Amino acid sequence: MPSSLPLRANFGCSYRGIKVERKLKNELVTVYGDCMKNHAAHMGLNVVDGCGEFMPGGEEGTPEALNCAACECHRNFHRLCRYVVQYYEY
């Protein structure tokens, strides 16, 4: 069923006659997820501690920020997840 409204190529909008342009932006967000450290590797088993998400153990820029506040493991043991977030900038 054809639409009666024309398609617009730009994403501008107007408010009370004022034309406002908005641009689509992409941002890469990095999140450290669940802890994957194997605490029983020396016994030939696979046991993880169940930490669900990395939480920095100190202020950003300090060495303590690289250790998780919940499980005290280094950030490298946590699953690395990268997402592209799209948003409009006015």
Residues 6+ apart with CB under 8 A from 57: 64, 65, 66, 67, 68, 69, 72
Burial class for 70, CB neighbours closer than 10 Å (0-12, 13-18, 19+): middle
Residues 6+ apart with CB under 8 A from 22: 11, 12, 13, 88, 89, 90
Q: What is the mean pLDDT of the chain?
A: 85
Please compute the mean of the pLDDT values over residues 11-30 and round it to a whole number: 77
Model pLDDT for residues 29-71, shown as the tens digit of each residue: 999 999 999 999 999 999 999 999 999 999 999 999 999 999 9
* Residue of 51 and 9 predicted with greater confidence: 51
